[in-house]
Structure 1
Amino acid sequence: MFLIILGVLIIVIGFFLSRGESPAKRFSGIIRLAGIGLALIGAAFSMFKVIDAGQVGVKKLYGKVDDDVLYSGLNIINPLVDVTTFDIKTQNYTMSGQHNEDGKSTDDAIRILTSDGLEVTIDLSVLFSVRPDDAPKILKEIGPDYLDKIVRPIARTAIRDNAVSYEAISLYSIRRQEFQNKIFNVINESFAKRGLKLEQLLIRNVTLPESVRKTIESKINAEQDAQKMQFVLQKEKQEAERKRVEAQGIADYQRILSTGLTDRQLQYESILAQKAIALSPNTKIILMGNGKNPVILGGN
């Protein structure tokens, strides 16, 4: 386009020079030919437009948007049109509290009020893409700045409008996935009307008020202490049961001995033991008997 404009200007200059009386008049024809050539070269180059992969182009001529979409590759177009490109790959728009490289805070997290009147801070990531066939519609109705005009306000409004149905603790724990699915459907419907496709919605973090966090931590610590005490009591109970079984076994053993062994059986067992000693090759002296009539045995 620049070459075309420059060529036209050179042609105009050559035209005015041809009507004057200056010495440059005789060169006006050459100047006009150079301008025509430059304009033709610019037009030739402007007729070809390369669209990169993952993008589409939208043509606009004198403010009027063409509904035809230019897809990736080499396209032949009217050299006078202006082409606006749109990224159709998946885009990530995150709203969170973060810090820049210079250390300054850029807090864009979403602050909401829950049904129990508590303020909760949510970090959110929106994964979306531009629908290729709707790129002309976006250019006409929204413009290329659809992130700040559509993505951000719709996501924030959907979260605030739906958070009033949940308590803070529920959003933090048991109903977090339910809340995420609900706002996904709301945002997806709004995006579809404006030529955008919502691919995924990620609630990255839910920050509760300091007082609520301390209450939860105290509750968790109390539950852990209770579980620890339960474990100790269970262990003591098992140890007591072990000792009871052991004592019962000793008592049963003593009862069996006291009721099942007679004097004759004990005398017989004693004779067997003394016989085994007598047969041993070691030197020994054995006294046998009940003390009244002892029998003395000797051996090597």
Structure 2
Amino acid sequence: MFERKSSALGSVLGLIAIGVVSVFAFTACTNPGTPAGHEGYVYEDPRIFGKGGYQDSLKGPANFGVSLWRNRVVNIDMRPNTYTEDFSILAKDDLYISFDFHTVISVRSGTVREVVENYGGDNWYKRVVREAFRTFVRDSVQQYNSSDLKMNREAISSEVTQKLQNYLAETPFNVSKVVVGNVNYPAIVAKAVEKKLAAQQLLSEKETQREIARKDAEIRVEEAKGIAGAQKIINATLTQNYLQHEAINAQLKMAESPNHTTVYIPVGTNGLPLIKPAN
């Protein structure tokens, strides 16, 4: 009787042990994965035994495979991404200008292990790039007066891009470009700019008016020359005979009119009339 109980107890304990092992094996198995556009840093995180540390790299989309070891993965986005920083910087003329800068950076393929072990993993931008980027922007902007910033966007962008590329030249990070975003002037500068633009517009209008006046004067001079020339020609042709001829023709036209009430009195030796309207 005792032997039967011992045998039954042993069977039960065996089943329990198998169940525990099965549960442990099931929960212990890992299969780290990496999505598309990423690379994965696979490492072992030992429970009780195992060497731990780096195991392999994955290029997504991919899975490391099922393992009894406690494997984990850090996935790094290798695609170009835009990182934006907001600024309020004191310009060369001691005015604070608010604006934002955007930089496009990608991680070079095949460098995931270096990124994780040397550059902070997925926090690489904050740990390695951010402060240098902000410093380069401040140094570049402070060379200009506030009124010149918008006109020199391209120069600032090129300078910061070059500095950032040089800074990251020996790292896994590639800088595509840096772009200057919105530039917001304080109210006093905005009003000054508006006044300057208004003054330039007024000056342009005055210049236009002056040009019009000059052209008008030239036209009047030409008209005066024309009148003087015409008068000279007329004076040269107004002889006594010509005037007498014109006067006689005028008399004939008026005499032929049925409604005329004019009396002609010839006077002088040349027959020119003295014209007097009838009352």
Q: TM-score of the superposition, structure 2-length normalised?
A: 0.70
Residue-by-residue CA offset, 1:139-175 (whole Å, 9 max, x unaligned): 11213222332333222122223444x1323651443
How many residue pairs match? The answer is 253
Please report how far the alpha carbon of residue 189 of structure 1 lies from its aligned counterpart in structure 2 after TM superposition: 2.6
Give the CA deviation at 1:71. 1.0
Query: Counterparts of 2:245 and 2:28 in 1: how far apart (Å)?
Result: 129
Structure 2 stretches of 5 or more lacking a match?
1-5, 46-51, 251-257, 259-265, 272-279
Distance 2:19 2:234 in 1: 131
Aligned to 1:64: 53
Correspondence for 1:9: none
Give the aligned partner of residue 261 of structure 2: none
> What residue number does 2:49 align with?
none
| 3-state SS, counterpart of residue 208 of structure 2 | helix
Q: 2:126 aligned with 1:148, yes or no?
A: yes
Q: CA deviation at 1:35?
A: 5.0
- Distance (whole Å) between structure 2 residues aligned to residue 25 and residue 270 of structure 1: 157
- TM score, norm. by length of structure 1: 0.66
Choose which of 218, 229, 242 in structure 2 pairs with 1:241: 218
Distance 1:177 1:229 in 2: 33
Alpha-carbon shift at residue 204 of structure 1 (Å): 0.6
- Is 2:175 the partner of 1:198? yes
* Identical-pair percentage: 24
Q: Aligned residue for 1:158?
A: 136
Q: Deviations over 1:226-277 (max 9, x none)?
A: 111111222222223223322322332232222146566788999999xxxx
Q: Indicate if the aligned counterparts of 1:191 and 1:197 stay in contact, CA closer than 8 A.
A: yes
**Who is 2:82 aligned against?**
92
Distance 1:82 1:126 in 2: 31
Task: State the distance in 1 between where 2:7 and 2:239 align.
Answer: 155
Cα distance change on mapping 1:59 and 1:41 into 2, 3 Å: same
Deviation at 1:42, TM superposition (A): 6.5
For the structure 1 residues 76 and 215, does the alpha-carbon distance in structure 2 shift closer, same or farther, using more than 3 Å as the test?
Answer: closer
Q: Tell me if the contact between 1:170 and 1:176 (Cα under 8 Å) persists in the aligned partners.
A: no
- State the partner residue of 1:17: none
Helix, strand or coil at the partner of 2:74: strand
Describe the SS at the equivalent of 2:79: coil
Contact kept? 2:141, 2:149, Cα under 8 Å: no
How far apart, in 2, do the equivalents of 1:127 and 1:193 lie? Answer: 17
Deviation (angstroms), 1:137: 1.5
Q: CA distance change for structure 1 residues 57 and 194 in 2, over 3 Å: closer, same or farther?
A: same
Deviations 1:49-84 (A, max 9, x none): 543221111111235235x53112334446232111
Report whether the alignment pairs 1:221 with 2:221: no
**CA shift in 2, pair 1:151/1:263, >3 Å:** same
Separation of aligned partners in 2, 1:56 and 1:271:
115
CA RMSD of aligned residues (A): 4.1
In 2, the alpha carbon distance for the partners of 1:189 and 1:250 equals 77
Aligned to 2:12: 27
Q: Is the 8 A contact 2:150 2:183 kept in 1?
A: no
Q: Is the 8 A contact 2:92 2:146 kept in 1?
A: no
Identify if the C-alpha distance between structure 1 residues 115 and 169 changes in structure 2 by more than 3 Å, giving closer, same or farther. Answer: closer
Matches within 5 A, 1:1-300: 25-34=10-19, 46-47=30-31, 49-62=32-45, 64-66=53-55, 68-77=56-65, 79=67, 80=69, 81-96=71-86, 110-141=87-118, 142-164=120-142, 166-169=143-146, 171-260=148-237
Pair 74,255 (structure 1): closer, same or farther in 2 beyond 3 Å = same
CA separation of 1:76 and 1:95: change in aligned 2, threshold 3 A: closer
Preserved contact between residue 56 and residue 71 of structure 1 (Cα < 8 Å): yes
- SS of the residue corresponding to residue 121 of structure 2 reads coil
> CA distance change for structure 1 residues 268 and 35 in 2, over 3 Å: closer, same or farther?
farther
Q: Name stretches of at least 5 consecutive residues in structure 1 with no aligned partner.
A: 1-20, 97-109, 274-283, 285-290, 293-300
Corresponding residue SS for 2:122? coil
